[in-house]
Amino acid sequence: MLLTLQVALLGMVTANMRSVVVSWTDKIVRIRVVFDDRVLAEDAELASEIESEVISHLPHHSVRCQAEACLTSQEMRISPGEVLVFRRAEAK
């Protein structure tokens, strides 16, 4: 699962992408792509492309990829059961 998502992210990471987290069961894959401050139309399209790539590798799973915003001043949240796949370096 993790390798599939990492392959799907190749060439997809943008400057305003803060993190990507995933959770899964035997049948369902949930991906959250977190962007700075607001989700632009191109960010939503990028999440859709990532979703399509993961679906192509996991045709027997229900895959949902959600684009969401996180204010730059806010701490990113990772819920129980989620695994961090990508995280941008943040200024301290």
Residue at 58 is within a domain:
yes
Q: Going from the first residue of the chain to its last (92 residues), give the mean pLDDT of each consecutive group of 10, the final group possibly shorter.
A: 94 95 97 95 97 96 97 86 93 70
Which residue is associated with the tokens 């701490």? 75
Tell me, what CATH number does 52's domain have? 3.30.70
Q: Is residue 10 part of a domain?
A: yes
Can you tell me the distance from the alpha carbon of 56 to that of 80, in angstroms, rounded to the nearest whole number? 27
Q: What is the pTM of this model?
A: 0.92
- Asked if residue 16 is part of any domain, the answer here is yes
**pLDDT at site 92:** 67
In a domain, 92, yes or no: no
Question: What is the predicted pLDDT for the residue at 86?
Answer: 96
**pLDDT value of position 40:** 95
Query: What strands lie across the sheet with 62-70, from one edge to the other?
Result: 62-70, 28-36, 17-24, 83-87
Residues spanned by the domain of 54: 2-87
Total domain count, the chain: 1
List the structure tokens of 45.
């399209």
